[in-house]
Amino acid sequence: MALKLTAAEIGPFLDEVFPQVKGMFGIDRLDEDLLVMRLFVSDAHLRPGGTVSGPSMFALADVAAYVATMARIGRQALAVTTNCSIDFMRKPASGKDLLAQCRVLKLGRALSVCDVLLFSEGGDAPVARASLTYSLPPRN
């Protein structure tokens, strides 16, 4: 699927539609095969022991699926998450950013389905896996 938006175009769009999370996420890679999205881990994302909280992992998976979908359909702020299933498998490493590898499994007329693997930066084994469905607004 050809992309309609580049990483450089999506960054400002994200800041505009989600001003509350400005500066929290970055895009390491975005092409037709893969999106790699980064959570800049700060104290607000941590749990005792230095591990990243579940809601922060969910937030990263969710924004990654949103970005991967937007990159394909163009700026459609009204897309909304309808379902997420997430498995937490390992404790994230302390003091490391979290990286999401996101693939679009289906881009239909009404729904987008994405698969996300989360890793601590530099780690080999995924800390979590998520699938997310977005409901898409009618397109012309």
Does 55 bind a copy of itself (CB under 8 A)? Our answer is: yes
59 binds a copy of itself (CB under 8 A): yes
The C-alpha atoms of residue 18 and residue 82 are separated, in whole angstroms, by 18
**Which amino acid, residue 88?**
F
Judged by CB, which is closer to a copy of itself: 26, or 50? 50
Contact residues for 1 (Cβ-Cβ < 8 A; gap 6+): 32, 72, 104, 107
6 binds a copy of itself (CB under 8 A): no
Residues 11 to 30: which contact a copy of itself by CB under 8 A?
A: 17-20
> Residue 88 or 96: which CB sits closer to a copy of itself?
88
* C-beta separation of 75 from 6 below 8 A: no
Among 3, 5, 73, 84, the residue binding a copy of itself under the rule CB under 8 A is 84
Q: Which of 3, 113, 121, 123 binds a copy of itself (CB under 8 A)?
A: 113
**Cβ-contact 107, 1 below 8 angstroms:** yes
d(CA 61, CA 63): 6
Token couple for 101: 């590898």
Q: What are the residues binding a copy of itself (CB under 8 A)? A: 17-20, 43-44, 46-48, 53-56, 58-59, 62, 80-91, 105-106, 108, 110-111, 113, 115, 117, 125-126, 129, 131, 133, 135
